Structure 1
Amino acid sequence: MTSSELWDRASAERYDAEETEMSSAEVLGPTLDFLAGLAGEGRALEFAVGTGRVAVPLRERGVPVAGIEFSAHMAAVLRRKVDEETLPVTLGDMATTVVPGEFSLVYLVYNTISNLLTQDEQVECFRNAARHLAPGGRFVIELGVPPLRLLPPTQVAVPFDVSAHHIGFDTFDLVDQILVSHHLTRDGEDGRYRRSASRHRYAWPAELDLMARIAGLDLERRVADWTGTPFTDASAKHISVWRKPLRAGHRYFPAMVHT
């Protein structure tokens, strides 16, 4: 059984309304451009496809997309948007669930690999991606860079949003690489706040690169966002692309991976 926390029905029903900014054309446009360019004429597989925020519009662009999703409630919301024949979804965890066929692209967006709370499971996620990729195919992850340098001595919390409708902050367990994301969200017009929290395992880019090498994948590119901004030591997140070798025993070593 995966260590991922399961989205319940209530959380799944609220998800799209709470993520309207992430579903905007300004956010999704560059994401879809990036992913569609890598998929080319091939098929794409989204790990943790959720309610289809990315998969549905990517399919509308003509990319055949399939998904793996741990929460039946999230998948049920997606199914209201598109039928199974158009966008097939398999229920299961992204570290071990296998779907038929080969893909030119496997992708995992919006920090979702951090839902796997152990290093072993994250390694298995990379292996599962490699298992599904055709030779020359790519695995893409979007993940935040742990903001640990913002922590002065003895402090364990970092705020990431303070607004009229939402207060969010992360607390860190530096020994086990676990962060807990805390949310106070204003519901309705009565001024009440709903409290929620979720656990995540954070990982540095270099750690992910080692996971990729264990799975037989090579780093091809790393940028700071979906528009291709160069990745630097000040970047808050990264989009990383690893490639499966074209043939057994052949490794791909690009001359430059940060641009």
Structure 2
Amino acid sequence: MASTRLWLRCLATSAPVPSTLSIKNAIICRTFTNTAVVAVGRKRPAAPVARVPGLDNPGVLHNLAEIHPLLDHYPRLGDQDGNLNLVTAKNWPSNPPLDEMLKGQAEDDVDESSLPHGLTKDDLRKFIRRALVIKRTSNMTTAGKIPTMYALVVAGNGRGIAGYGEAKDEEPARAVRKATNRAMRNLTVFDRYDDRTIYHDIDHKFHATKIQFRSRPPGFGNRCNHYIHEICSCIGILDISAKVWGSRNPMNVIKATFEAFTQKQKLPDDIARARGKRVVDVQHTYYGASE
């Protein structure tokens, strides 16, 4: 084996082979300039060495630890004369960002003109995003079942602005991104009393879901359904209690919550205008304001 290794080392480095070496376990089947085939040990059939353009001697083994100008790059056509420009392939990080992976694949991109007054795209980066519902759906057709992914996302800044969006796609990641973009386009401004709770108790019914919302004093916290808890966190409601009766379908609960907060709340200005009183009197009577 020692003599065989010495002979192979001389062959790889193009050094002259001593005549005293005994080559018992090596067989040269063809000329080395065309295709070199070396079988060591059990006389196995060797695979031909492919020619690489640009190498002076195709028989010289290339060191894989070194960077070769042709083997380690992707040649692409450059100028009109036919010269090759060696362009190194782009190296992605171990975890590529989701925005780059799904770039140009999402629908309903956010436009600043569709946002509430005063908000920009830079403000959207600080928004709280919650994917509350992600499930698999299927559409039954004559060709069979067509599976898709459904996503419902709630987004808000925690200071009175929030919205929800729904989307479907073949991939769950794209469905979540579509739903997030639609939630950003459907942002709504919610009125909060003292920037922490709702103005009054609300009873609301949405299809088969019935929810009772109760305003609570400071420090009470959010004691309610987990879907309502996430929505209140996105809106910025800190003190509230809620009870759900009937259907607890997550989509019905989420839509009922948004509908109740936007349509069922009566502000002090509306009550004062309906009763013919001043806003200060209404705040003193209903909310215990000193002034």
Instruction: Please give the range of the TM-score, normalised by the shorter of the 2 chains.
Output: under 0.3
Relative contact order, higher structure (CA 8 A, sep 6+): 1
TM-score scaled by length of structure 2: 0.22
TM-score scaled by length of structure 1: 0.24
Bigger CA radius of gyration: 2
